Structure 1
Amino acid sequence: MTTDTRATRSRLPALTWTTVVPPLAVVVLALTWGRKFDGTTGAVVVTLVAVVLGAAVLAAVHHAEVVAHRVGEPFGSLVLAVAVTVIEVALILTLMISGGPETQSLARDTVFAAVMITVNGIVGVSLLVGALRHGIPAFNAEGTGGALATVVTLATLCLVLPTFTTSRPGPELSSGQLVFAAIASLTLWIAFVLTQTVRHRDFFLPVATDGSGTLDEDVHADPPTNRTAYISLGLLLASLVAVVGLAKVESPAIEKAVAGVGFPPSFVGVVIALLVLLPETLAAVRAAQRERIQISLNLALGSAMASIGLTIPAIAVASIWLDGPLLLGLDPTQITLLAVTIVAAVLTVVPGRATRLQAAVHLVLLAAFLFLAVSP
């Protein structure tokens, strides 16, 4: 293959759906933001927004993979995890500012849902896909174990302890405790990022199934050019902004649908987490299909970590002008699910290899979470 041929293949094709959808989604967002649509027109608009939202999610996954291929692992996973989480924080704050008392627990519901979806859903699906396609998928237990330990610590500090503290009535932290939780969360997240990208980068690279060593780069294709990567980065950010913005536009319809089927209001947080994490889920599954289970785990645990480590500090700052209490503590059912998830995840990570059984365990835990979220 000549240099010219490789350069041609690495360029972004003009006017493909992946280049058209992000700006189109932003235009649709601009036309629908802050407007109310009723009757038949409203139903048509909601359907159109849902279609564009799904297309924007798929476009985000494509451009995230282009950027990840250019910068290499684990930086590629970090780019998507941080980008999605920053937009998730913006969506939570937007809904909390515009909502009423029922949004006081929205941050907790969304963050807890993100943890359960990533640690059980993304991990479970990735392991299942990897096991079905490649036998017994392998990964680096040292790096994955460190990521899991960070997630567990963050979840305990920010979601479990508020249930048991006594400075404030109810499952909330005092001002001083919230500041400590925010600083601790941000510190742990920064420490992990430095470990993942600087000191021990090799702990987070894909591992060969036969244990022969790490797979540093994807050998199936040449990396894209800098120009292609920059274009994809811009389109990725546009896609993510559109995804969350359109999700906000859809939120009234989501809330009505949740109430209409008799689900508790807290289920709105689950829907938000599902929408926001869809790009990472698809990217993780594609990585598992390519025998890059470590990338899938980087995405899953990195997303759970960023969801807590970035959301709690942002919420702590926003609480200065937010009305009402900030409910962060989990209820007994949620704490039980989190505890079982932690035990199962530890037993999955320690061997550095997983089978379909571990995948089934995590997927059943995800199903239990979703079922109990609907029927608490």
Structure 2
Amino acid sequence: MNAERLLAMPMTAWIYPLLGLVFYGVASAMGFADTLAPGMTGIVFAVVLIPVIFGAIFAAVYHAEVIAHWSGEPYGTLVLTAAVTVIEVALIASIMLSGKDGSPALARDTVYAVVMTVCTGLTGLCILVGGLRYREQSFRVSGASAYLTVLLVLATLTLILPNYTRETPGPSYSDSQLAFAAIVTVVLYGAFLYIQTVRHRDYFIADAGEGDWHSNLSIRRVAISAALLLVALIAVVLLSKKFSVVVEVAREAIGAPPPVTGLVVAILILLPEGIAAVRAARSDALQKSLNLALGSALATIGMTFPAVAIVALHLDKPLVLGLDASDAVLLALTLLVSTLTFATGRTNILNGFVHLVIFATFLFLTFQP
């Protein structure tokens, strides 16, 4: 995002948050909540809902970027990550709680899809775009290593280890194990945030001059964006339950397997932040791209998993966590390749192609398991 776009707020940045609240009120009054009306009425509702919720999400991320540039790095990426995580938790929780049995595997499918999409698709695209334009790009190895180390531990605790515990059958934790995993996840993610923002802030900043646009933003301008960010997030949270109904109906209509729902949720929440990451790579700011991309993957586990665990424990909802064998192998390959890619501090188009091939394999196996 450039300084001119920051200073000149587009109309959509305030129209869509307000439109989202109005649409929610009208839809609720018409009874469109837990079911989708049959026939043309339901189709019209879905057609209108999708641009409204997408507009509210993009508006939320726009205002988060305004606040992010005012606060500077690495705090800026944390503002974006927090906004996206609120949206993600709302979507996952709404789908989990829909219907009689909900979707006990949705949290696992979404977390897995986010990690794979970020570490292969988004990262690969950023590296490829930057490599095509600049041949090679550099970043801080210390920062990338910190991201990957924490991501490796959290992914193992939430997606692999539940398959091998003996207190409960199947790929799930018992209540006590789930509570413990949620607590240590929060603690580890909190320690990472302390390292990122206080103790070793320089690990995540490639250029000391980055983030100086905040001097062009008045306190009034930032306050307006903060208020509209809150409105946009409220609109997205309220509309997420209705959007979940549309997603499930569409998935069943095309006969897609259940993990596709998690993939759709992951792409939806990553789309605005992904655009910002690719834009940064095109501007030769790969470090910022990695902060946005890898930060999203970490926040998905570090903040979304504990939130979903609390919902599951409080409402006594089943929560399936462990991946099957093929997905576990693909996740291990992704983390290994990511470690090798970010070990040198420089990337080129070959690294991008390798990550994108893994992402294509992930997409294919999601639809054809």
1:1-376 alignment runs, 5 A limit: 11-13=7-9, 16-33=11-28, 35=32, 36-101=36-101, 103-205=103-205, 207=206, 214-218=207-211, 223-376=216-369
Q: Which moved more, 1:118-127 or 1:24-33?
A: 24-33
Q: Output the CA distance in 2 between the equivalents of 1:344 and 1:10.
A: 36
Q: How big is the shift at 1:215?
A: 4.1
Q: How big is the shift at 1:172?
A: 0.7
Q: Output the CA distance in 2 between the equivalents of 1:100 and 1:130.
A: 47
Which ranges of structure 2 fall in alignment gaps of 5 or more residues?
none
- For the 8 Å contact 2:107–2:321, the answer to whether it is kept is yes
Q: How big is the shift at 1:218?
A: 4.3
Change (3 A) 1:190 1:69: same
Q: Output the CA distance in 2 between the equivalents of 1:11 and 1:26.
A: 25
Q: Deviations over 1:233-289 (max 9, x none)?
A: 232333344345434323222212212222112211111111112121112112222
- For the 8 Å contact 1:247–1:272, the answer to whether it is kept is no
Q: How big is the shift at 1:152?
A: 0.8
Q: Output the CA distance in 1 between the equivalents of 2:126 and 2:92.
A: 27
- For the 8 Å contact 1:22–1:59, the answer to whether it is kept is yes
Q: Deviations over 1:164-210 (max 9, x none)?
A: 111110001122221221111001110010110011111111x3xxx
Q: Output the CA distance in 2 between the equivalents of 1:46 and 1:106.
A: 21
Q: Output the CA distance in 1 between the equivalents of 2:263 and 2:5.
A: 39
> What is the TM-score when the length of structure 1 is the normalising length?
0.89
Q: How big is the shift at 1:12?
A: 4.7
Change (3 A) 1:223 1:197: farther
Question: Between the two proteins, what is the percent identity of the paired residues?
Answer: 46
Q: Which moved more, 1:336-345 or 1:38-47?
A: 38-47
Change (3 A) 1:37 1:259: closer
Q: Which moved more, 1:253-262 or 1:153-162?
A: 253-262
Q: Output the CA distance in 2 between the equivalents of 1:11 and 1:267.
A: 38
Change (3 A) 1:132 1:60: farther
Q: Output the CA distance in 2 between the equivalents of 1:199 and 1:60.
A: 29
| Amino acid corresponding to residue 20 of structure 1 in structure 2 | I
> What is the TM-score when the length of structure 2 is the normalising length?
0.91
Q: Which moved more, 1:78-87 or 1:139-148?
A: 78-87
Q: Output the CA distance in 1 between the equivalents of 2:160 and 2:55.
A: 36
Q: Which moved more, 1:65-74 or 1:91-100?
A: 91-100
- For the 8 Å contact 1:122–1:296, the answer to whether it is kept is no
Q: How big is the shift at 1:220?
A: 7.4
Change (3 A) 1:301 1:8: closer
Q: Output the CA distance in 1 between the equivalents of 2:260 and 2:242.
A: 17
Q: Output the CA distance in 1 between the equivalents of 2:202 and 2:212.
A: 17
Q: Which moved more, 1:214-223 or 1:59-68?
A: 214-223
Q: What is the Cα-based RMSD across aligned positions, in Å?
A: 2.3
